[in-house]
Structure 1
Amino acid sequence: MSRIFGSVCQNGYVVRDIHAAMKHWIEVMGVGPWFYIEDVKTDWFKHRGAASDMKMSVALANSGDLQIELIQQLNDAPSMYKEFLDAGHEGLQHMSYWTEDYQGLYDKAISLGYVVGHEGSIGGEKGRFAYFDTQAHPGTIVEISDISGTKGRTFAHIRKVAQNWDGSDPIRPFG
C-alpha cells in the first residue's frame, strides 16, 4: 500500500511482441483471458509536455485482483515506453494506481514534486492517465488512471471474467 497512491491495481509490461507475451502468460502463467486491442485510440497523448503520435497495442487480463497490462508500441514516436525499450529493457515498466478522483490525485502528486513523463486520455475526460517519471530502476514508474468512467466498468468486467476463466477463448479482440 502506497501512502501516497493507495493500492497497486495493475502491473504494466512493455514488450516487443505482444502476441508472444500473451502466449507466455496463457501457457506458462495460466493467466487469461486477454482482452486485446490491436490499435488503441488515444484522445490525446503528450510525452514530456509535447504532443506525440504514439501508437500502441494493449492486452489486459487479471490474476486475482491484480490486472496485468501488456503494451507494444507500434511506432517510434516519443513515449516512456520507447525510452524503456531503447534503454534495453523489456518487461515490468510501471505500477498503476486507480482513482475516481483523478484530478485530486494528480494535483497531489504534482504538489509532492512528481514530474509527468507522459500522459493522455482514452475514451474521454474520464479516461485520463499519467505516468510519473519515478524510475529509479526498471519497473518502478508510477501511473495513475482515472476509473470514474467507462474504463472503470471495463476493468471490472475483465476482472469478473477472469475469476471463472476455464482456459477457453484465451485472446478476445476488444474495442
Structure 2
Amino acid sequence: MSIHFGAARQVGFVVRDIEKAMAHWSTALGVGPWFYKEAVGTTEFRYYGQDSALPALSIALANSGSLQIELIQQRNDAPSLYLDTLARNGECAQHIAYWTDDRFDAMHQQLREAGYVEGHGGRMGTRGRFAYFVHTDLPSGMIELSETTGGKGAYFQQIAAVAEAWDGHTEPIRRVAGATVDLARSSPASTT
C-alpha cells in the first residue's frame, strides 16, 4: 500500500505473443479468465511529452485475487515504453499501476515533483487517461496512473467478479469487441 497512491492495483507485462501468454497464464498458473481485446482504440498518445503516432495494441486483462494482471502486445513500431522495455529487457513485468477516479492530476503532479518523467500517456476512446512514469534512480520501477472514469472502473470491477467465480476451465480466453462489454456473454477464443 502506498501512503500517496493507495494499493497497487495492476501488474502489466509486455509480451511478443499475447495468445501464447494468455494460454500459459490460464493453463499453467490458473489465472483467468482473460478478457482480450485484439485492437485497443488508443485515441491520444504522447511519448516523452510530445504527441506521437498511436501504438497498435492488443491487451488482455484478468485478475488474481484483487490484483489485475495485464498483458500487452504492441503490433506496430510507434514509439512507446512497451517497445522500449521489450528492446531493453525482453518480455517481462513492465509496470505496476495505481487507479484513481478523481485524483489523476494531483497524482501526476506528485510523481513529477518526486523526479518522475512521463514516458508515455494518453487515452483510449472515452475512457479515463493513463500515464506511465520512469525515474533514473529506479530504472526497473515503472509506474502507471490509470484514471478509472468513462466506464473503465466498472469494467475492471466486472473482470474481478468474473475471475472470482471462474472454475479454471470454462472459456479461459474471452474476446472483447467494441466499447461496451457484456462480460458474462463474451465469446470464448480458446478452451485451453
Range of TM-score over shorter length: over 0.9
Q: 1:174 aligns with which of 165, 172, 176?
A: 176
CA drift at 1:37 = 0.5
CA drift at 1:102 = 1.2
Alignment of 1:38-49 (within 5 A): 38-49=38-49
**Structure 2 match to 1:63:** 64
**Structure 2 match to 1:103:** 105
Unmatched 5+ residue regions in structure 2? 178-192
CA drift at 1:160 = 0.4
Please say if 1:87 is aligned against 2:88: yes
Which whole-Å CA distance do the structure 2 matches of 1:45 and 1:137 have between them?
A: 22
CA drift at 1:122 = 1.3
Amino acid at match of 1:44: E
Amino acid at match of 1:120: G
Checking the alignment, whether the CA contact within 8 Å between 1:120 and 1:128 is kept in structure 2 is yes
CA drift at 1:137 = 4.5
**Structure 1 match to 2:10:** 10
Larger Rg: 2
Q: 2:115 aligns with which of 113, 116, 120?
A: 113
**Structure 2 match to 1:26:** 26
**SS of residue paired to 2:170:** coil
CA drift at 1:91 = 1.5
CA displacement 1:88-146 (0-9 Å, x = unmatched): 4212000000011212211222233221000010132x5100000137344x2000100
Q: Which 10-residue stretch deviates more, 108-117 or 64-73?
A: 108-117
Checking the alignment, whether the CA contact within 8 Å between 1:47 and 1:79 is kept in structure 2 is yes
Which whole-Å CA distance do the structure 2 matches of 1:69 and 1:106 have between them?
A: 21
Which whole-Å CA distance do the structure 2 matches of 1:10 and 1:93 have between them?
A: 11
Please say if 1:133 is aligned against 2:140: no
Alpha-carbon RMSD: 1.4
Q: Size of the alignment, in residue pairs? A: 173
Which whole-Å CA distance do the structure 2 matches of 1:69 and 1:5 have between them?
A: 19
Which whole-Å CA distance do the structure 2 matches of 1:40 and 1:148 have between them?
A: 17
Unmatched 5+ residue regions in structure 1? none
Amino acid at match of 2:108: Y
Please say if 1:152 is aligned against 2:153: yes
Percent identical residues: 47
